[in-house]
């Protein structure tokens, strides 16, 4: 559900850095490393975000499920969960 907005934002910033990385002309030797850093950093961070966030979410969900089974709750809470 959130994949498209995240990808669109990253692509907009990434495409904004492409002219810095590929540009020619006066002073381009100073802007070239900045463009490469922006583009590379956005690609790496996007890949890490798309792969690590679901893994962390599932891990915490599994931990919560296991802790729910170990927890000794009160009688009212147990009756509400049984319904």
Q: Is the overall model pTM greater than 0.85, yes or no?
A: no
Orientation angle between helical segments 28-70 and 3-22, nearest 10 degrees: 160
Q: What is the pLDDT of residue 66?
A: 82
Ranges of the chain whose pLDDT falls below 50 = none
Token representation of residue 34 = 């900045």
Q: Residue 59, SS3?
A: helix
Q: Which residues contact 31 (CB under 8 A, 6 or more apart)?
A: 20, 23
Nearest to 11, CA basis, from 45, 51, 55, 34? 45
What does the pLDDT look like over 33-48, one tens digit per residue?
998 999 999 999 988 8
CA angle 14, 20, 23 (to 5 degrees): 130
């Amino acid at each position: 559900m959130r994949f498209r907005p995240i990808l669109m934002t990253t692509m907009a910033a990434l495409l904004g850095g492409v002219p810095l990385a590929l540009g020619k002309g006066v002073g381009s030797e100073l802007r070239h490393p900045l463009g490469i850093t922006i583009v590379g950093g956005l690609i790496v961070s996007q890949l890490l975000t798309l792969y690590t966030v679901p893994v962390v979410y599932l891990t915490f969900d599994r931990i919560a499920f296991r802790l729910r089974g170990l927890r000794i709750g009160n009688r009212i809470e147990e009756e509400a969960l049984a319904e």
